[in-house]
A and B are shown apart, each in its own frame.
Chain A
Amino acid sequence: MSSQEQAAAHVHRDDVGARMGMWLFLFTELILFGGMFILYSIYRYNYPDAFHLAAKELNTIVGTFNTAILLTSSLTMVLAITAIQRKQKALSVFFQVITIVLALGFMVNKYFEWGAKFHHGIYPGSETLLAKPAGEILFFGLYYVMTGLHGLHVIIGVVLIGIMARFTSKGIINSDSYVKLESAGLYWHLVDIIWIFLFPLFYLIT
């Protein structure tokens, strides 16, 4: 692959610009979640005891397990990029598929976690929840909105990485042109970073 060939094949290509665009989009995501973190800190400041009490309802083991799953999926995502850089196409697709499997595992855990809460009558607007003190209602409100929005991002990530895996196997993403995979990776790592903060703030209040 000579550089002239590459330039001729992709005249309008600007990988640096594409990555920059992805980063700019990630900044808007940062502001979206940042606003919620501000809301969380204000309410936690107002209701420290209720937050401690409510957090005890959350399962730390499931939370820790999900953190490990998400961190590992971030690893497999970055390995998929390294594999395509090294022209190991099959390995790259394999790593992307593993990333998707881990992400789905995260969502399955989330399903059981939320399911258990629902079973105990703790869901937005439920009588059990509304009978609790204001601070606990706020805690669970924030819990459902923030982990829910994060979960939505995980689902979007699964779809994106699925498309990237297809592109990779079709050769649209190859060792010469893999900025799409890099951008999907950037998105996936941001989802990971958000969880890195959500985890201690919701599951580890002792």
Chain B
Amino acid sequence: MEHNEEIHVEHSHGYGIYILVWLALMSLTGITVAVAGINFGGLTIATALIIAAIKSFLVLKVFMHLRSESKTFRAFVGVAILFLLISFILLFSDYSFIVRN
């Protein structure tokens, strides 16, 4: 059990980065709201989702400390998101195929 004590990766315990990320998140929210009024046709929803994905990435990486976690954590999260995306893409492509035929 001698290796059981926590080895903290002593990343910078600064407040600055979090405030910067918060500012970025708020700006991105502003952009989403502003852009929603413009009609890009089919791209409108894509734009909203891309901005949401960028915001989620920032939250995962910085707020949820993935940047200072080990590779195992990043692999876990990556695989989880990948499989969620796969189920989305497969289900949706299958469904739109059924509807069209």
Contact = CB atoms under 8 A, between A and B. Distances in A.
Interface of A: 3, 6-7, 10-16, 19-20, 23-24, 27, 30-31, 34, 37-38, 41-42, 45-46, 60, 64, 67-68, 71-72, 74-75, 77-79, 82, 85-86, 179, 182, 185-186, 189-190, 192-193, 196-197, 199-201, 204-206
A189 B64 contact: yes
Contacts of B2: 7
Contact of B63 (A3, A11, A42, A78): A78
A179 B64 CA distance: 12
Interface in B37-76: 37, 39, 44, 48-49, 51-52, 55-56, 59-60, 62-65, 69-70, 72-73, 76
SS of B interface (majority) = helix
Contacts of B15: 79, 82
A41 B92 contact: yes
A13 B5 CA distance: 7
B92 A42 contact: yes
Contact of B52 (A20, A27, A82, A197): A197
Given A189-B64, A196-B55, A13 B4 contact: yes
B20 to A, nearest CB: 10
Contacts of B73: 19-20, 23
A65 to B, nearest CB: 10
B13 A85 contact: yes
A79 B44 CA distance: 34
B84 A30 contact: yes
Contacts of A13: 4-6
A31 B44 CA distance: 25
B64 to A, nearest CB: 5
Nearest to B11: A85
Interface residues of B, number: 49
B29 A64 contact: yes
Nearest to A60: B33
Contacts of A12: 1, 4
B19 A193 contact: no
B15 to A, nearest CB: 6
A84 to B, nearest CB: 10
B33 A6 contact: no
> What are the 10 tightest A-B residue pairs by CB atom distance, in nearest-first order?
A200-B48, A204-B36, A75-B22, A7-B5, A15-B6, A27-B80, A85-B13, A78-B63, A71-B25, A193-B56
Given A23-B76, A64-B29, A45 B96 contact: yes
**Which of B4, B21, B63, B69 gathers the greatest number of chain A CB atoms within 10 Å?**
B63
Nearest to B25: A71
A200 B36 contact: yes
B84 A34 contact: yes
A15 B99 CA distance: 49
Given A74-B63, A200-B36, A206-B36, 13 more contacts: A16-B6, A16-B70, A23-B76, A30-B84, A60-B33, A72-B22, A74-B22, A75-B21, A75-B63, A185-B63, A189-B64, A200-B52, A206-B39
